[in-house]
Amino acid sequence: MEFWFAFYRIWFWFRSLFKSANKDLSLVGTALWKSKDQQAEDWSREALGAENDRVIIKGSSQSGESIVINVTFGPEKTAIANILLKFPNDKTYSAVDIPGNAISNSLLVAGPLRLECREPFKRWRLTIRGTLLDDAGEPHPIRFLSWFSPTTDESNFLASLVTKKLAEIATINESTSVAESLSDRKDFFQWGLLRSQASIDDKEPREFDLRVVRIKTGIPFTGEAALSEVFSATLNYGSRIFCARLGFPQTHKTVCIGQIVRGDFIHQNVNSFLDDYAVIETDKGSYVLETAHDEARPDFFNAWNDAKIESKLIQWDFNTEVGYGTRLTSIENLRNNVNDKITVPQRTPVEYTATSDEKQNLVVPFEAKAAQDTLFTGGKGSNLAKLTQIQNDFQVPTGFVVTVTAFESYLQAHKKLKSSIESAALTLRPGDSEAIKKFEIEIQSLIAETDLSSDLKLAINAEFNRLYGGASPDNAIRVAVRSSAVGEDGAELSSAGQLETFLEVPLSEVPRRILECWASNFRREIVSYRLQNAQPINTSVAVVVQEMVVGGMAGVLFTTDPVKGDPNRLVINVVEGLGEALVSGQATPDEIVLTRKLKIVSKPSTCKFSDANAIALAKAGLAFENTFGGPQDVEFAVKDDKLYILQTRCITNLDLETDWEFEHEFDNATIADSDILSTANVGEVIPAPMTPLEVSVLVKLYDRAVNAAVAQISNPIGLKPFERVEIAFQIARQRVFINLTEMYLRNWPVVEKDPVPEYSLAGRKVFTAAHVDSGRRRFGNTHKRNDGKSLLSMLKVMFLDSEKYCGYGSQILANIAEVEANAAGKKDTVENQLETIVELQKHVWEAIDTHTKASMFSSFTYVFVAMLLRGSPEGDLTPEILTDIAMIYAENPEKPISADVPKALQRLAAAIVANGHEEKFNAFNDAVEAYKWLQSLDETDKAGEEARQFMKLHGFRGQYELMLQGTAWKDDPSQVVSNLKSLITQLKQNPSTDAESKPSEGSVIDRLKSTQITGIKRKFFQFFMNKAHRGVFIREELKNVIVQATYALRQACLRLGIIMYDKCLLPSARSILFLTLDEIEDLYATKNPRILHRLRRREKIFAKQAEHRYACVNVGTPQPLELDAKACLGTELHGTAVCEGIVRGRARVAKSLAEASETQPGEILITRYTDIYWSPYFPIIRGLVTEIGGLLSHGSVVAREYGLPCVIAVENATDVFQTGDEVILNAGAGVIAKVLQEASN
């Protein structure tokens, strides 16, 4: 045996030299952009429904919740699912052997379980809405909602087996063929997080995060290797353990495989493990797992018919991490037994396409085969024809359909009507309510002037004679006349109820009602609905004429609870008389609830609808699900115990996302629950929630750039970046947070001793001893910075690279200009614009990457300056040192470009006054016209020159300038014009004087308060002070490049929005911001109304998210703040000094730019943050206080340049103070305080 093992090991080693084996993607993911083929490959690997494939999702939370999902696929995309949910100190809930289907490659539905891929290996939606059984077999309604986001890339755990493991497999199978076949296997697992909300028995929902592993495995051919057992555990500091037994049917032997990913990102391959997993041997050592005990988090055991589930709390000896370990055994037995249970449903063939001869008919009876063609008879007509073919224990009232051919012939005969409809189809746009109303009135008027053709009247009368004995006035037969539009009753879109229906119509009035049904096809409601859902407004419409069932009882059956989304509950709403009373809300129905096993769960005692009729109706409804392919909404009547089916349609939008799901759909996962997330810095540059397009286009660019920069100094083990996972930036409720654990605590020994990086980032100390300890326990010494290597990196950037950055920026802008020029020469198509967006994305990435490196240079020089002031590489920064740093940066001779904005506005205002333009300029009410007039002034006019120069240098800047939702000043100069008017008023009252000359660098050194610097140290200090000034200048220049690049990308995205709006694919051009790139392509290709529904819901949720505020430092998932401002009144607040000065004045509290627009000269502005868009206020305010900010942030740079007393990092300032408060700002001390009335007096 040992000989053969050695032989096979050599064989596979030699073979690997000549054959490129599949690599473990968890180690090599680097791509920022993928080709169409690569994207298609990702979707293919994630596809659901392949026979013998198996999907397992299992894991737990630190608080004791657990989940196990197992889905096995059979022939023709059929599936059997098993579900288990466990809650701490609560029961276990499960459902076993649930039949289901892969509706598409990206969607599985199995009873209450819905599993949907939104983005391969990045984002899955998992919901459970239905009834699960507890340990005692009692049913409980469960609503479990969740989003999966990854914490690693996928690992091809079979295709990437190491040589040693392949040799072991070959040895026990006495052949290399089995081991060699594994290299082609697509099996993978991926670690991730399920952000979850669950409700049991309709109680208040609870929220929690489940750390899970998602496994996809399969057996391509009978007898191949398959998993027989899986053990997984996620521990509280981010370590993850995956162990499995790989079984071989021919020899009945197993091999231990697996992988350990520690919280410090070290990957290890599992060689073996004990049966109870107490000891796990890896290629880099062994680990011991011990059972831990916690009464609040008990162990549990459960069993499905053919599998066992065990979960227990464990502790790892690596760094005493704790977490749940879950074992699923007898997997292969489960697969074999389940395959025996899977049967392919025998669906009744119901689809039929009418022949060209059949389509000549103006009228067809329900029993005609041609009537089953939905394009010929519309949604209602087609379904009634299909029901007529399968009626057995129920009856479909007799009737016929006035076909689409009749409607189209009618339009051909009335050219003016047809022309008006065709014209409107080209010109009407979503939201244009006045034009839509005018169109409705026009069409109604034109149709009112017409009549049915003689041929159609003859055809209708022929059906009256055949079915009802003619249309004489004394005929008592009454019919329902209903519109039946093409495409009206789909699973994703339904216009049911929006088109006209007439009940109890005498036969003689049917022709007039047909015309009114046709007219209703162009009602404003239906036209608006179609435009909102990217559907054509000139949809063809048929009309159903059906005998009325008068007397008895009527109502609606839903084969899935439409409110709870529970497929185990069938709901009947029934009233006496016509069902129209129920539909119109004129009568309150009795509600009867049944299970899918036809057991009545609830029924009012006074209800007259018999149990037998309820069961017969439910049985028919379940049969319709099979026939029509999904949950049904069935209209019925019962008279003399005879069941009549009046209509059935798919229940639309049955599984729409809840508000909670929309709030969290783009949340991404931290590696550990203890990760520390902050709004520092990122809260200034990305101050608003990100739209879906921004998440899909921008986040990965920033994350990859920052992560790469950090890796230069804190990644000594050479880890490559993840492809699927964001490390540096986390999304929660679409807000962006910087992950301080990943960015700073990898180097926890440095953070523990030196707070300079904290002040540079946030303007204050951020980390506590507990934070540092979490970094120590997670990373150990793995990422400990090599001080010598780091110093060399800093010096290289400082002396060799830094001066190249501005040149790189110029080249990036030239590349962007070339892309824009090429795009201008192409046809305006969705495809071309998408290509332009991808090209611009690449240049935005280049700008971000270059700026990040420039920021490192600026941060390095900041560290050196602080270290020289402090006199040592370690220790705290005293208030005197912070004041000195602020003074040094305030007197920067390099003149950063961002600091020119307020000065340029002052120059422009002065020119307007000097040239006598103020009266005419102030007379403009329209800001755009006002600025256009300034720019149109003669070249010799200083005001015109300054206006043109301002827009040339700064016009692309503005609110949210680093976001796609932003608005540039060149596109909307309202704020600029408003501030110019304020400056003009100020200049008229207090004519400006020349600014005082700034002291030389030497005098700055002489005025230092924290230390005296002399001799050679003085020269050394002056050198680094010059470099610090240069660092700020270069960083701001490169930020300017990012802003310009983002502006170009924004314009390209909005241009795509305009193109799609013109094609009636969007409700507005800016709506494109609320779709991801994948959704944009999908919408363009399919016009899927579900995507537009998401868009509309996201827009509403976004407004709510924009109001949320978050703490500067958050451990775990950030939660919106709920601050009691009254409890803080009367207290002074402290922050970090940026620019010295003591001022007193009226507070202007502005949480938004809209509130800031009322700022008056001489006020002290108190706000959450400032970016470039706030710069125009700097010339008129007396002082500045921000809740967010660092010493190198935009607001700090401009405030120092402007000599404006400024304090940053003052938490809760906008809640404690109110506009109108009298305040004192002592910027040197970092204090703002409210002046009490008594003190004022």
Residue of 969, 1046, 1035 whose CA lies nearest to 812: 1046
pLDDT value at residue 858: 84
pLDDT value at residue 1129: 46
Phi/psi of residue 1080, each to 5°? -60, -45
| DSSP secondary structure letter of residue 798 | I
Three-state secondary structure call for residue 390: helix
1144 with 1161: CB under 8 angstroms?
A: no
Please name the residues in contact with 1234: beta carbons below 8 A apart, sequence gap of 6 or more.
1129, 1130, 1132, 1216, 1217, 1221, 1222, 1223
Two structure tokens written together for 243? 């162990």
Phi-psi region of 211 (alpha: psi -120 to 50; beta: other; left: phi over 0): beta
CA distance 154 to 589: 52
747 with 783: CB under 8 angstroms?
A: yes
Residue of 783, 1039, 739 whose CA lies nearest to 897: 1039
996 with 1013: CB under 8 angstroms?
A: no
pLDDT value at residue 1239: 43
Please name the residues in contact with 763: beta carbons below 8 A apart, sequence gap of 6 or more.
680, 1135, 1136, 1138, 1189, 1190, 1191, 1193, 1196, 1208, 1209
Per-residue pLDDT tens digits for 550-602:
888 998 999 988 877 788 889 998 988 876 655 555 567 888 999 988 999 99
pLDDT value at residue 677: 95
pLDDT value at residue 841: 94
Residue of 149, 97, 98 whose CA lies nearest to 123: 149
* pTM (predicted TM-score): 0.85
Phi-psi region of 258 (alpha: psi -120 to 50; beta: other; left: phi over 0): left
1130 with 1216: CB under 8 angstroms?
A: no
Phi/psi of residue 197, each to 5°? -135, 130
Residue of 1141, 1134, 1133 whose CA lies nearest to 1202: 1141
Q: pLDDT > 70: what percent of the chain?
A: 88
pLDDT value at residue 29: 39
Give me the domains of the chain, ranges plus CATH numbers.
2-341 (2.40.370.10), 367-548 (3.30.1490.20), 551-664 (3.30.470.20), 1125-1240 (3.50.30.10)
Which residues in the chain land under pLDDT 50? Answer: 20-30, 334-339, 344-349, 993-1000, 1124-1129, 1238-1241
314 with 290: CB under 8 angstroms?
A: yes
Tokens 């400024």, residue? Answer: 1206
| DSSP secondary structure letter of residue 587 | S
3-state helix, strand, coil in the chain (%, to 5): 40, 25, 35
Sign of dihedral through CA atoms 711, 715, 718, 719?
A: negative
Two structure tokens written together for 1144? 């007193």
Three-state secondary structure call for residue 254: strand
DSSP string, 739-764: EHHHHTGGGHHHHHH--HHHHHHHSS
Helix (H) or strand (E) segment spanning residue 163: helix 163-173
702 with 729: CB under 8 angstroms?
A: yes
Q: Where are the beta strands (DSSP E) in 927-1015?
A: 958-959, 967-968
Phi/psi of residue 232, each to 5°? -145, 150
